[in-house]
Structure 1
């Protein structure tokens, strides 16, 4: 699905949150690879589950055509610096919910980009009959957990010793959900 672009200004940074288009595919492939190498908060290490330009073109096409998917990008001076996705499905028993994921280049942390991608996704979901948004977050990502709670997400469960990070230790994944009555 497609939303109207929205402009934000924070700490002298101007950025736009808008729906992804197929011409974003190459940039998205590069940005995702870079972000995966900058943080352990995501599921992948750099280069794992790589999605090339044609892969992103297909995802964007599918998400644009689906009423239960939303693919957003955050753009600074025509450069993508972060993105988010809400992915639903067509199964009747779970068609009321979507799974949310977000990532932002490290140099753009602290500008509210992740927050605004989340807010726009919530607004889209609430406006389009989506009743539940779910997400997974690493237990050590305290800022993200606080943000999600601020926007109505609750802890629904914990996957114990779910991820092994570079320090060799195992960490829990927190399952969170937000239900819109």
Structure 2
């Protein structure tokens, strides 16, 4: 699905929220690789499960025509600095739910971009008829967990020793969900 672009001014920066286009594919591929190396809050090490520009072109096209999928980018001065993707489930038994993730280049953490991406995903989900939206968060990322809780997410479960970080230690993953009563 495609939504209209928005210009946002917050915390001293102006940025654009929009859906990606085919011409963004190479930049998104590079950004995803970069962000994977900036934080251990995401699932991948740099270069793992690499998405090429061609992969992104396909995702952008498929998401633009899908009824229950939304892909948004955050752009500062014509440079994509973050994105979120919410994907609905195509299986009949799970058509009421969607899963999402957010990633932002660390130089733009603290500007409220993640919060705005989240708000727009939730607004879209609520108007699209998605009754459950979920995500997974490394338990050590307390700031993200608290943000999601402020927006109505609850902790549904804990995956014990779910991941190993560069420090050699195991970390738990929190499964979170937000429900719309129907």
TM-score normalised to structure 1 length: 0.98
CA distance in 1, matches of 2:157, 2:56: 31
Equivalence for 2:5: 5
Task: State the match for 1:36 in structure 2.
Answer: 36
> Is residue 164 of structure 1 aligned with residue 159 of structure 2?
no
The offset of 1:52, in angstroms, is 0.7
Number of the residue aligned with 1:80: 80
Cα distance in 1 between the residues matched to 2:80 and 2:180: 30
Q: Deviations over 1:118-175 (max 9, x none)?
A: 1000000001111110000000111100100000000000000000001111000000
Measure the CA separation in 1 of the matches of 2:126 and 2:20.
Answer: 20
Mapped partners of 2:110, 2:65: distance in 1: 32
Q: Is the 8 A contact 2:11 2:112 kept in 1?
A: no
Moved more, 28-37 or 88-97: 88-97
Tell me how far apart the structure 2 counterparts of residues 10 and 110 of structure 1 sit (CA, whole Å).
11
**Paired position in structure 1 for 2:155:** 155
Cα distance in 2 for partners of 1:133, 1:43 equals 19
For residue 63 of structure 1, report the CA deviation from its aligned partner.
0.6
- Structure 2 Cα separation of the partners of residues 147 and 21 of structure 1: 29
Shift of 1:6: 1.5
Q: CA deviation at 1:89?
A: 2.0
Backbone CA RMSD of aligned residues: 0.7
Q: Secondary structure at the match of 1:38?
A: coil
Q: Which residue of 1 aligns with 2:141?
A: 141
Gaps of 5+ in 1: none
Q: Establish whether residue 54 from structure 1 lines up as the match of residue 54 from structure 2.
A: yes
Superposed CA offset, 1:19-71 (max 9, x none)? 11111101100100000000000000011111010000000111111001100
Count of residues in Structure 1 that have an aligned counterpart in Structure 2: 181
